[in-house]
A = this chain, B = another copy of it.
Amino acid sequence: MKDSRHIKDLLYEQVARIGKATCSPKRLELIELLCQGEKTVETLAREAAISMKLASAHLRELRAARLVETTRQGKNVIYRIANRAVAEFWVAIRSLAEDRLVELRLALEQMASHPGEMAPRDRKSLVKLAKQGEVIVLDVRPVNEYEAAHLPFARSLPLDELKSRLAELPVGKTIVAYCRGPYCLMARDAVDLLRKKGFDAVRLPEGVAEWGIVPVR
């Protein structure tokens, strides 16, 4: 009796497709990764620490909800978020989760209680300082993510190259490191290293998605 269902039920069912796509931790992680820029299945699998088969299955779900799109490029299939609204939703659902779930707040506070955690700061004034060169905003994500989208006046210096490229950084200035967002640990690790080496470094627990900056095709 599928056709006997009320129109109304059909509407809620459609909305629930979005919920279904976002009810799995790994799928959320994939969305966050895609918010950093388009990626191949292989890359996504590696960065989310899952098998390619599983990644493919999850991406299928995300595609079924039309949150992501694909194009083929040679042997690779490239995934990207469908549009800006998806990135905004990722920020929104996370923000609701943080609002409602103490467990999440506690876990985040634990992360943030690390030395070098930055106090929340006005974005505009940070940009101004970065523009004037008074602070260095450091993007420690992989280069291709920096190229896809980055914060204004940010410099790229991927975490895994940081140790060998410390000489490029000025000693006197404050370094504000950021990565994929509050759930990503790369900036924290970068700050740990920088402080150990005598730099004045803090972590900005935000990324491009939080700033409303979305990689364009």
Contact = CB atoms under 8 A, between A and B. Distances in A.
A65 interface: yes
A186 to B, nearest CB: 10
A204 interface: no
Q: Of A12, A22, A92, which is in contact with the most chain B CB atoms at under 10 Å from its CB?
A: A12
Interface residues of A, number: 51
B12 A96 contact: no
Interface string A1-23: 00011011111111111111111
Nearest to A68: B100
A28 to B, nearest CB: 5
A216 interface: no
Nearest to A30: B12
Interface in A159-217: 183-185
A29 interface: yes
B101 A8 contact: no
Given A4-B185, A7-B107, A89-B92, A97 B22 contact: no
A12 B108 CA distance: 11
Kindly name the residue among A10, A15, A92 whose own CB sees the greatest number of chain B CB atoms within 10 A: A15
Interface string A94-124: 1111011101100110110000000000000
B8 A15 contact: no
A70 interface: no
B19 A23 contact: yes
Contacts of A76: none
A16 B23 contact: yes
Given A24-B16, A29-B12, A7 B67 contact: no
Contact of A22 (B14, B16, B82): B16
A69 to B, nearest CB: 10
A66 interface: yes
B89 A85 contact: no
5 contacts: A15-B94, A16-B23, A18-B100, A19-B19, A19-B93
